Amino acid sequence: MTPLTLTAGPKGGRRTAWVPTLVLLLGALYCLIPIAWVVVAATKDRSELFSTFTFAPGSGFFRNLSDLTAYRDGIFWRWMANSAFYAGLGALLSAAVSAAGGYALGRFAFRGREAVFKMILAGVLVPSIVLAVPQYLLLSKLGMADSYLAMLLPSILSPYGVYLVRIYAAASVPAELMEAARMDGASEWRIFSRIAVPMMMPGLITVFLFQFVGIWNNFLLPYVMLADDEKFPITLGLYTLLAQGASQPALYTLVITGCLLAVLPLIGLFLVIQRFWSLDLLSGSVKA
Amino acid sequence: MTSAPLKGAGLVEAGPLADGTGTAAQTVRPSRPRRRGRSAPYWFLVPTLTLFAAFTVVPIGYAIWLSLHRVQVKGIGLGKGARQQVWNGLGNYTDVLKDSEFGHSVLRAFGYGLIVIPTMLGLALLFALMLDTPRARSAPFARLAIFLPYAVPGIIAALMWGFLYLPDVSPFYYLLDKLGLPQPDLFDGGNLYLSFANIAVWGGTGFNMIVIYTALRAIPPDIYEAARIDGASDLKIALRIKVPIVLPSLVLTFFFSVIATLQVFTEPMALKPLTNGLPSSWSPLMAIYDKAFLQSDIYGASATAVVLALATFVLSFTLLRISDRYTREDRA
């Protein structure tokens, strides 16, 4: 990290800066408390949840797990699989579409380029419900509401993804290389698929991860689109479970265990891909 | 819906567009394909534009069309052709403006934003500055921990906090009880705003912190070196040099937080089952959902949605103009 050069300032020394360290640790504590809580609470059985001290581990984790798995013939795992499907396929398609669109906007000069780009970016500003309600009404006219496609299709286009690939393509695919390939008689498709895509890969991975998290976390779209709980993603599934829990508190332990299991894959993914996750890209500061 | 595109996070993503487009425009050295391949960019744009037309343009057009119509019921409304869509002009819009329920939901969103935005961005800036302080220990751990909530779906964050607000389950109530302090009802009246706001702050601070921290790291260290030789303390360097330099990122994170606030949906939805008497039109998005699907008035709901979209656009352009001015003054 850059601050290394600073440690040798006039005040010098290697003393720890206690105030910043303390502030950071308090911040970390605040952010970790709910996660630590859900880990502990998932180990408690129904009676322990409301009777023992919050952070005292319980004895019921495996029973909670088997209860959750048994709940309505394992619908919880179906929700998890649905989420993985929506987020995985949606993010993959999103990265592909963004790759082509961003490459066109970043590496070609053509009439209407800026207009197209601004129009797509303006899409970010449209409140999601303004789109979701008419999308639902239109898809139900086509007989497609409450289907896997109804959830998948609206999730593919990512204005942010197009924006990011545009910047990335402009910075990482040299015009000279494209020109040379053209001289050698390569088709535009071949230049894109064999030269540009590999060079843009870090940017595409970032788009994929963002969109994956975005779709996995989405609640409003499935809430509007889906009625059949066999097609629910995990967010909507756990929400309906909680709503029922208001009348049957026995379901609370299931919701808590479900929350833990739903969060784990994302946190795991997060820790693993941290190094690929291009945080500098995220704020648009690409340096060629 | 603070969850997906809205989490503040989702939206901040496009944050740097003001800077970024500039960068892009400079670095784009468009190659000039001769004859062959001149149509290539259009082909590459086909998937993007098709999806944009199908899932953005057409739905917006349909919403506007619906907002100008209403259903006319003939007789008792049974049988074929008894319900017809007829032109209603701006009738739905005047209804929206008179609709006090929607007005209240907008006011609630503003009240909620007044708590969330200063707290979230203040903490994000504070943590970013602390991360950037030389000799701060455990910075990599803290950075990861504070960013971690970004990986937690908004609805699940709200469910977890919802349980932490329940007196029987919460460690905070346990502590208050042991200390003999009064125990507030976190699901009641004004506290409800704090309860929702806390969830949004928890989920959004990390992302904004990273955006600001990235801007901080881009500052060449020689600047500090010079200030340090002049005898400036860490605190002074932070306030006099770092904060002004990252002001443009702060303005942008503010911009996207405001938009996200108008669209708050997930937190109140998630806590609704745990509370009594939270109105189903608490936030603007909930009011629109309520109108469209619970009252089955898609025409009125569309008009409300269009009003919300227009308000968002006006607000965005105003804020972008202000942020432009900031950025320019900064460069001058």
**Residue B187 with chain A: CB contacts under 8 Å:** none
**Average pLDDT for A123-136:** 89
Q: In whole angstroms, give the CA distance from residue A107 to residue B13.
A: 22
Whether B153 sits inside 8 A of A7 (CB atoms) is: no
**Residue A243 with chain B: CB contacts under 8 Å:** 272-273
Q: Nearest chain A residue to B138 by CA: give it.
A: A21
The domain total for chain B is 1
Confidence of residue B121 (pLDDT cuts 50, 70, 90): very high
**Residue A41 with chain B: CB contacts under 8 Å:** 163, 169
Residue B327: its pLDDT value, please? Answer: 64
Q: In whole angstroms, give the CA distance from residue A81 to residue A266.
A: 13
Domain ranges of chain A: 69-282
Does pLDDT of B123 surpass 90?
yes
Task: Using a pLDDT cut of 90, give the percent of chain B over it.
Answer: 35
Whether A131 and B308 have beta carbons less than 8 Å apart is answered as no
Which residues span the domain enclosing B237? 9-23+91-331
Q: Which two tokens stand for residue A23?
A: 């502030």
CATH number at residue B311: 1.10.3720.10
- CB within 8 Å of A164: residues ≥ 6 apart: A98, A102, A203, A206, A207, A281, A284
Query: Which residue type occupies A56?
Result: A
Strands in A107-209 per DSSP E: none
Interface test with A, best of B28, B66, B219, B259 (most A CBs within 10 A): B28
Per DSSP, the three-state class of B230 is coil
Whether B156 sits inside 8 A of A25 (CB atoms) is: no
Whether B228 sits inside 8 A of A10 (CB atoms) is: yes
- CB within 8 Å of A4: residues ≥ 6 apart: none
Residue B19: its pLDDT value, please? Answer: 40
Please check whether residue B132 lies inside any domain of the structure: yes
pLDDT, one tens digit per residue, over B164-181 is: 888 877 777 777 777 777
φ, ψ dihedrals at B36, nearest 5° = -60, 135
| DSSP-assigned beta bridge partners for residue A108 | B31
Confidence of residue B328 (pLDDT cuts 50, 70, 90): low
Please check whether residue B229 lies inside any domain of the structure: yes
Fold for domain A69-282? MetI-like fold (1.10.3720)
Residue A3: its pLDDT value, please? Answer: 42
φ, ψ dihedrals at B50, nearest 5° = -60, -50
Q: Nearest chain A residue to B128 by CA: give it.
A: A24
**Residue B24 with chain A: CB contacts under 8 Å:** 106, 166-167, 170
Residue A120, min C-alpha distance to chain B (Å): 7
A51 CB neighbour count, 10 Å cutoff? 11
| DSSP-assigned beta bridge partners for residue B72 | B84
pLDDT, one tens digit per residue, over A149-164 is: 999 999 999 998 999 8
pLDDT, one tens digit per residue, over B89-105 is: 898 999 888 888 899 99
Helix (H) or strand (E) holding B174: helix B171-179
Helix (H) or strand (E) holding B91: helix B91-98
Q: In this complex, how many residue pairs, one in chain A and one in chain B, have their CB atoms less than 8 Å apart?
A: 380
Q: Which two tokens stand for residue A63?
A: 């029973």
> For residue B117, which of B193, B28, B26 has the smallest C-alpha distance?
B193
Residue B15: its pLDDT value, please? Answer: 38
Whether B309 and B316 have beta carbons less than 8 Å apart is answered as no
Q: ipTM for the complex?
A: 0.86
